[in-house]
Structure 1
Amino acid sequence: MFKINLLSDKYILSLIILGVLSLFPNINVYEFRGEESLRVIVSYEMVKSGNFLQPTFLGDLYFNKPPLFNWFIAISSFLIPWSELTARIVTIIFLSLTLLLIYRFSYKIFSDKITALFSSLIYLTFTDILFWYGYLAEIDVTLAFFIFLMIYFQYFGFIENRKDYILLSGVVAGLSFLLKGFPALVFFGITYFALIIFTRRFKEFLNPFLYISAGISILIPALWILNTADPERYIQKLFLESIVRTRGGSDILKFLTHLVEYPLLNIKQLIPGVIFAFIVIFLHFRKKLSIVLPENIKLLLFIVALNYIPYILAVESRGRYVIPLFPVLAVVFGYILVKAQKEKLLRAFVYTALFFITVRFLLGFIGFPILMEKKASRKKVAYDIIQEVDISKNIACDCSPEKSVCLYIDFEKGEPLKKSKYMKNWDYLIDCSGNKKGNLLKVYDLKGKKIYLYEKR
């Protein structure tokens, strides 16, 4: 009888491929949610206006994020007609590239295929990756690829004294800035600081290539930002965005609560890999097995720990802010799990990964259609509006909070909707203020959030 070797490299690779494929079923059925619509509207307006340097949102100049993620979506739109897949494929592609990079990083350190493959599988099956950010048109997983690529060049550039890698780390840091702004430079600086402190190679603080690399990381975003509508305002806004999202607090109780809740949130994000790592550590202390952490694993943990400090100290931190550290943790967990040399434990993880991937397929095939039937659908509202109005006429959108509705109308109309202040000659207006602005055609109730459709008198 044909017997499957669950721990063979071919089987683990097949699981990884299956896991990536599990992200696709009904990806266009699950409508845009949260900030996805914002990313796509900005990208859509870029393509239609031809202005790729200064982002806009419903006609307003947009300063909250740099444009690289929008550029990726714009490139995708030339290959895939505008839909949920157009934007989400960007995240899936960079997730796949991260899996390849994790494999390369782990194999380069440990020279072991199984360890490298398990590291990739662990990252893919992290709860926040497989069931959430791994396919949504959000910046975080794409940023994780660039930050991990930067760490890859920093680590091997430093350890192997590769000057070209040190310079490349600056290039990648600059590109990372174009994704999410100043946090990329913080990751860059802290990681080099961690490498120098851990190895006690303090002379590296005087390494000119390190400073040239830092200069490159600043030059790349500077070349872009100087060509925007208001460079000074853009820099201020990006800086304030970074400060607001990672600020501390004067409320001691809130801070202490954050110190407890935030690590628990991160542990939830890292299930199931973190659970298996904890099991190995528990068995080690119970003398059931022996696991020795080599210096390179300790160094990776030190890099993660130092980069984690700003987020554990900031009461406003969200779980997704530390996703860029997940690939490094996947490498560590992969090593711990494989080197524990417990075949039952490895098999248990494989079965767990298979279960998670199966659930992800079911979520796509069955869950998404059910969710869309039960929830208040912005997509349905958009298509109902399309039936109510003459789509060829001018439509304005003054409803930023319900931007998904305007986005789906963008797709059908073939041009971006703008706020009424930019479209004085509007024929129809989508509004959510409740202030009468014309002949009321219809009111849509999205579980307490109301959208008003007006026709000009």
Structure 2
Amino acid sequence: MKKVVIIAIFLFVSLMYFGLGRDYLFDWDEGIYGTIGREMVTTGNLLTPTWNGNLWLEKPPMIGWVSALGITLAGDNELGVRLFMPLFAGLTLYAIFRIGQKLGGTLMGSASAALLGYFNLFLSRARASNTDGMLLAAIAWTLWLLLSGAPAWLIGIVMGLAIMVKGPAGLLAILIAIPLLIKKPKKFLLQAIGYMLLAVLPWHLYALVAHGWSFITPYLMEQVIRRATVPIEFHTESRWFYLNFLTHDLGLGVGIVSLLGYATMFKNWLSKKSLDKNFLLAWWLAIPLIIFTLAKTRLSWYILPVYPAIALSCGYLITSFAKDKKSKTLISILVVGMLFQMLYHAFSYINFGKNPTPYSDSIQVANELSQYHGGTIAMLVSESERIAQAILPRDQTISSSFRYGGAPSIVWYSHKHVQY
């Protein structure tokens, strides 16, 4: 079964690469991250991310480094910007397979990986330039390495990479790993923390010394504290936003199977009168869900870190029926079918026969302007953007709210600085 899963993950990643550069960069994130990577390549400055020629310190530079490397290898195009995203998805699937294998056996790991690869939000993050899929890979590998008894230095570096991808939100990798970390000896924890700081501190200290409040304000005060305490930029979704989104995105059936999986775990805990290692799955689901629900600014992709926990709980329930040789054979056949279904869904998702998405009018104009000399162009932002700027309450505004003119990809396609 292990070989079947590895082949399935390889095929999944291969499918994700088909037509990866087919569609233009979407606003907002892809247009921003692509430009940051390009400007790193053209300026050679890998320590200070810039966008549109100006300082950009909303997140650490890892996403810029990944985009820059992709552009260097695959060219200054959409494929280059997205080049490593399917790879991060594949790394996540492999880690989830190994986590499930550690917690409940090969069948559980196989079923869990098949389910995660089927989920639409996971698929969308596998083909777009984003930090969420990268963070998910770091979380999954942190947990797998802890379960597999990896050395402290390796675990510390992976936890540090989570922070270098997403900033303070990367601490989620540590929070989710607490049930495993508290079982480690003090020496191990100190070593892991030391290597994590070794991965994190150099750039953060450089940014603090070099840019002071120009770093602290967007990086910490706005992207973390303000987003957690204020519903910025009209994001006034209800307290039940994430539960509603999960129900819509995953379907009621997945939700029921996941709940039954957790109920089965709870029943087993009661019978043993102690929490076993599968408590990690309940913790993994609860921590991100609670944190992001309590935060005032809510966006659908923030909740991606709970998807592996849901997949693993479903895998737990499915494989709990494999009690004898006959039932194990039947469950094995079911799991192989799930892996095929994952690949079929991925095949359908990428839509082999689809033509490239036509440029919008603004992107078409920007692309044509890239052929002309001159380093700067002016763009009148859309009426909706102007109205939003006029009516958005000041306490829901941060410095980047209208920095991008509602169309940051214009900078990418015009190859020029844009005055919005």
Flag whether TM exceeds 0.5 (same fold): yes
* 2:13 aligns with one of 14, 20, 41: 20
Following superposition, the deviation at residue 242 of structure 1 comes to 1.5
Following superposition, the deviation at residue 281 of structure 1 comes to 5.0
**Secondary structure class of the residue paired with 1:104:** helix
Partner of 1:426 in structure 2?
none
Contact 1:291 1:336 in 2 (8 A): no
Partner of 2:298 in structure 1?
317
Aligned-CA RMSD value: 3.6
| Residue 110 (structure 2) pairs with residue 98 (structure 1) | no
Q: 1:93 & 1:40 partners in 2: Cα distance?
A: 17
Quick check: which has more Rg, 1 or 2?
1
Contact 1:174 1:218 in 2 (8 A): yes
Partner of 1:140 in structure 2?
132
Structure 1: which amino acid aligns with 2:144? Y
**Residue deviations 1:361-384 (CA, integer Å, cap 9, x gap):** 3443467527x24x7355433333
Partner of 1:247 in structure 2?
229
C-alpha change, 1:268 and 1:231, in structure 2 (3 Å) is farther
Structure 2: which amino acid aligns with 1:185? L
C-alpha change, 1:281 and 1:334, in structure 2 (3 Å) is closer
Q: 2:316 & 2:176 partners in 1: Cα distance?
A: 24
Structure 2: which amino acid aligns with 1:409? S
Following superposition, the deviation at residue 309 of structure 1 comes to 1.8
C-alpha change, 1:275 and 1:12, in structure 2 (3 Å) is farther
Matches within 5 A, 1:23-422: 23-34=16-27, 35-110=29-104, 112-130=105-123, 132-156=124-148, 164-165=151-152, 167-189=153-175, 191-192=177-178, 194-195=179-180, 207-228=186-207, 229-240=210-221, 241-247=223-229, 257-258=238-239, 260-270=240-250, 274-275=254-255, 277-278=257-258, 292=268, 295-341=276-322, 354=340, 357-365=343-351, 368-369=354-355, 372-373=357-358, 376=360, 378-386=362-370, 391=372, 393-399=373-379, 400-401=404-405, 402-410=407-415, 417-419=416-418
Following superposition, the deviation at residue 247 of structure 1 comes to 2.8
**How many residues are paired up?**
377
**Residue deviations 1:21-75 (CA, integer Å, cap 9, x gap):** 3323332221111211100101100110010000011111111111012112212
Following superposition, the deviation at residue 296 of structure 1 comes to 1.7
Structure 1: which amino acid aligns with 2:82? R
Q: 2:191 & 2:21 partners in 1: Cα distance?
A: 44
Q: 2:148 & 2:345 partners in 1: Cα distance?
A: 37
Following superposition, the deviation at residue 215 of structure 1 comes to 4.5
Q: Give TM-score, length-normalised by structure 1.
A: 0.71
- The alignment-based identity, stated in percent, is 22
C-alpha change, 1:212 and 1:83, in structure 2 (3 Å) is same
Q: 2:129 & 2:365 partners in 1: Cα distance?
A: 21
Contact 1:12 1:117 in 2 (8 A): yes
Structure 1: which amino acid aligns with 2:297? E
**Secondary structure class of the residue paired with 1:65:** coil
Q: 1:59 & 1:282 partners in 2: Cα distance?
A: 50
Q: Give TM-score, length-normalised by structure 2.
A: 0.76
Following superposition, the deviation at residue 145 of structure 1 comes to 0.7
Contact 2:367 2:414 in 1 (8 A): yes
C-alpha change, 1:66 and 1:196, in structure 2 (3 Å) is closer
Following superposition, the deviation at residue 196 of structure 1 comes to 7.0
Q: 1:344 & 1:280 partners in 2: Cα distance?
A: 20
Contact 1:127 1:272 in 2 (8 A): no
